[in-house]
Chain A
């Protein structure tokens, strides 16, 4: 008899901490087994809720103690199960998967982060990395937008981002409320507000596909080239290891060749309807 040690057997992780981020978003911090590979910023894990299903969720933080954070919006069957999960509960975890952000290419460069909604989650480890190794990178610009003030992620740590030397943090919402005194408008309306050096900047973009399209257009108009813009794509990454087929964008497997692509790599498919 041969044991079917497939790539789909999860490791068991324990939830050590949860943070309610918004009315429909929660971050869970997982203690993973010692032999679990340390994730890189921009990678994702497959999280398994026993009996309910498995979902790909990007890694939104790795703490000093080695806890791996996942920021989860309650939109589908499995993510909604996370409303009930609390400290001490167990989940299955497989990963880390995907290529992650091109950290080595960011060395010495200005970093322009453009994020929409829950798209800030996979970029948070980049911000942490810049904070930790400040001298390795140039200027840090964070442009972040959400639908309403209620939808903003990690509001408690924007001042921490601002304290990173040589950083700029601009926040916007599509629609304000009675208490909102900040900028109103989609995230691309923040792009003219920052000083971008087109010769020395790498842009990292994550958000809804429509937001990324407008962002690419505006960044190109500001003089960035296709190989200076990186996008993290969302697809139905069922297996995470290039086997199940669901995440294909044209010939590209988002789970193994992405989720981060330079615009140069995917420009042929990026604008094609329902590719």
Chain B
């Protein structure tokens, strides 16, 4: 890892960076406490960043306490790049079709975590490459400032998924808070330019070793008890496993996991009649746990929850690789935290692997 481009400064420099970005006309979106939850929302001021808050996360639990380090809440960048509701078009009774427009604005994500940066990279493969015009319009001018995770939470497993806790590439700026010191990195020309406006110094040996220590500690914490080596292939051998029935005994089929997932891209389109006689078609988030997801008139391809869970898990950890060449899971752990009954995908995977190893098919 080359640390030659790393620079450090005090928190004042981070504040300065925030203000510079705002002055350049960016709408800054970042973590902010709203009704006792960290949300992603527009930040008017640097002071809104929840630096004095810690989110205590566990399977099915989430609470905020006073602390030094936050991770995230239910929102992810998906909300802004791929909004939950988007008008596709409006059609009048004479069949005139009105196509909506989106404003090209400068948007900056400030303080998102490496897992969410990875989620943006995943979305680049889906909405980006498949040509979603809304996604690509917002994405084009996106400035990304990542806050590296020195204290991953209980549901985090980004180390295992290879997406964190330190962002390696694909950002403009990444910063790491180590006590009073903030270490800055850049990965774009724009990022480098912005950092030149700050009063930063090259790392001295002391900070360098402190940084290494913090990163090492964080990396070992954000680990699940499985490895992604050979995982997709192994999971594919579990198609007939009864474990899915066991794991979903308490699943409610609420699709919370789909909604909070930063990469879940499925959508439905709903028809809304308008009083002026026109009709709108609106794209809305959908998820493979919703009952109607695999329904067709006169049939249902996945009526049982265990089958929907199997599809979801295999999609994230196996099918994605075939479809888009990368994992669909970034290890953010939101599906664990926001599951109302606390189903833990890390545990499910271990159970499934154990089943495959003892019962699995031998031929593919």
A residues with a Cβ closer than 8 A to B are 1-10, 12, 48, 50-54, 75-77, 79, 90, 92, 209, 234-236, 238-239, 241-246, 248, 250-251, 253, 268-269, 272-275
Contacts and interface: CB of A to CB of B under 8 A. Distances in A.
A77 B323 CA distance: 32
Contact of B294 (A10, A12, A246, A268): A246
Contacts of B132: 6, 243
Given A4-B102, A236-B296, A274 B95 contact: no
Contacts of A251: 315, 318-319, 322-323
B241 to A, nearest CB: 11
A81 B95 CA distance: 17
B225 interface: no
Interface in B215-262: 239-240
Given A246-B266, A250-B314, A4 B271 contact: no
Interface string B263-297: 00111110101000001010100101000011111
Nearest to A2: B137
B363 to A, nearest CB: 10
Contacts of B266: 244-246
Interface residues of B, number: 56
B240 A76 contact: no
Interface of B: 86, 88-89, 91, 93, 95, 97, 99-104, 126-127, 130-134, 137, 239-240, 265-269, 271, 273, 279, 281, 283, 286, 288, 293-299, 301-304, 307, 310-311, 314-315, 318-319, 322-323, 364
A251 B239 CA distance: 12
Contacts of A48: 281
A221 to B, nearest CB: 21
B304 A246 contact: no
A90 B96 CA distance: 12
Contacts of B315: 248, 251
A2 B132 CA distance: 12
Contacts of B86: 4
B289 to A, nearest CB: 12
B89 A9 contact: yes
Contacts, number: 131
A76 B297 contact: yes
Nearest to A77: B297
Nearest 7 CB-CB pairs, A to B?
A76-B297, A245-B266, A274-B307, A251-B319, A51-B279, A75-B297, A1-B101
A241 B88 contact: no
B164 to A, nearest CB: 26
A31 B142 CA distance: 43
Contacts of B133: 2-6
Given A2-B102, A245-B267, 14 more contacts: A2-B103, A2-B104, A4-B134, A6-B133, A7-B131, A8-B89, A9-B97, A51-B91, A76-B298, A244-B269, A245-B265, A245-B288, A251-B322, A275-B239
A269 B311 CA distance: 12
Nearest to A92: B91
